[in-house]
Amino acid sequence: MIVSSRHNNPRYAAGQKAVKRLAETGTPWKEEALIIGFTGAIASGKSTVADYLETKGAALVDGDVISRELVQPGKPVFNEIVKQFGPQMVGPDGQLDRKKLGQEVFGNEESLLKLNEITHPPIWKEMTRQTLAAALKTDVVLMVMPLLLEHGAEQLVDQVWVTDVSEETQLKRLMTRDKSSQEQAQGRINAQMSAAEKRALADVLIDNNGTLEETFANADYAWQEHVLTV
pTM metric for this prediction: 0.92
CA dihedral 143, 157, 137, 125 (to 10 degrees): -60
Q: CB count, 10 Å around CB of 158?
A: 19
Average pLDDT for runs of 10 along the chain of length 230: 66 96 96 97 90 97 96 97 96 94 89 97 98 97 96 97 91 89 86 86 95 96 92
Cα–Cα distance measured from residue 80 to residue 76, given in angstroms and rounded to the nearest whole number: 6
Predicted confidence at residue 2, as pLDDT, reads: 45
> Residue 88's closest CA among 102, 78, 100, 75?
100
Question: So where are the chain's domains?
Answer: 10-226
Predicted confidence at residue 3, as pLDDT, reads: 43
What CATH fold (topology level) applies to the domain 10-226? Rossmann fold (3.40.50)
| 219: three-class secondary structure by DSSP | helix
Predicted confidence at residue 43, as pLDDT, reads: 87
Give the per-residue SS3 of 90-121: ECCCCCECHHHHHHHHCCCHHHHHHHHHHHHH
Kind and range of the H or E run holding 36: strand 34-40
How far apart, in Å, are the Cα atoms of 70 and each of 14, 56, 108, 121?
17, 28, 23, 11
> Residue 195's closest CA among 178, 173, 214, 217?
173
- CB-based burial of residue 144 (10 Å sphere; 0-12 exposed, 13-18 middle, 19+ buried)? buried
Strand order in the sheet with 59-62: 59-62, 140-144, 34-40, 159-164, 204-207
Predicted confidence at residue 57, as pLDDT, reads: 96
Cα–Cα distance measured from residue 169 to residue 191, given in angstroms and rounded to the nearest whole number: 17
